[in-house]
Amino acid sequence: MTPAAPPSYVPVAPAGLTRRARTFVEAHGIRVARPDLGRHRDAWIERGVPATEIDRAMAFEDRWGGLALPPAPFYDSGPHVLRADVPEASPVGGWWFPAGDGRFSMAYGFWIGPGGEFGINGYRWAPLHACIEGWVESLALAHHARRWAGTVTRITGEAVDSLDLEGYEPVPEVRGMTDTWWRGEDSLVALYRGEAVGMNAPACGEAHVYGGLDEWGLHGG
């Protein structure tokens, strides 16, 4: 009998991402082994978890589970590996489930919200992006911008709310909620407000301004 081929650690980017994000996932990500959530289904139903919520967690796991991406520029580098787990009743209504463990011991966790949002939950819930695709697009854009920017400026605390974004347009593919990206004539601005909201700590807000970008630097696919 011919032995089964070992699983590939090279990820295939899910459909629906920009070319920039697909390249980022496939060039810089790895796919690691992931557990079979289906074997927990009966036990979770016995615990009162609705079948529809289990299906939602399993769909996330099928699409994203086991994907490890390079560290994020904020949120203590983000989840180590994207991975779903048992859904829980959310304090904001509906159900949510974990999106993956942090790389370090943290005061908040990464979750997929009742409406599919990707966010952090600490002192309170802070949805960063409208979906996990938005988070991945944000990671890809940050990676691209760092590579091509002539300057990178980090702004923290109350100064973040004083940034003048007149003339800038939101970057739609990141599906920004608490966190947003903005594109100007020759610069990109990333606003990270999740910790400020989720930890009720305004001083934790941060912005990264990538300057000196040409047309390719502004878009990159």
pLDDT tens digits along 50-65 = 999 999 999 999 999 9
- Spatial strand order of the sheet with 88-89 comes to 88-89, 95-100, 109-112, 118-121, 125-129
- Tell me: do 143 and 101 sit in the same domain: no
98, 132, 166 - which closes a domain: 132
Same domain, 161 and 104: no
**pTM of the predicted protein model:** 0.94
Same domain, 41 and 142: no
- 37 with 61: CB under 8 angstroms? yes
Domains: count for the chain: 2
Contact 111, 99 (CB under 8 A): yes
Q: Confirm if 45 and 57 have CB atoms less than 8 A apart.
A: no
Q: What is the pLDDT of residue 7?
A: 58
pLDDT above 90: percentage of residues in the chain: 84
> Is 135 exposed, middle or buried, given 0-12, 13-18 or 19+ CB atoms closer than 10 A?
buried
Ranges under pLDDT 70 in the chain: 1-8
For residue range 152-200, what is the model confidence (pLDDT) as tens digits? 999 999 899 889 999 999 999 999 999 999 999 999 999 999 999 999 9
Q: How far is CA 19 from the centre of its chain?
A: 17
pLDDT of 6 reads 52
pLDDT at 116: 97
By three-state DSSP, how is residue 108 classified? Answer: coil
List the domain range (segments joined by +) for residue 191. Answer: 136-219
Same domain, 127 and 143: no
Query: Encoding tokens for residue 34?
Result: 């992931």
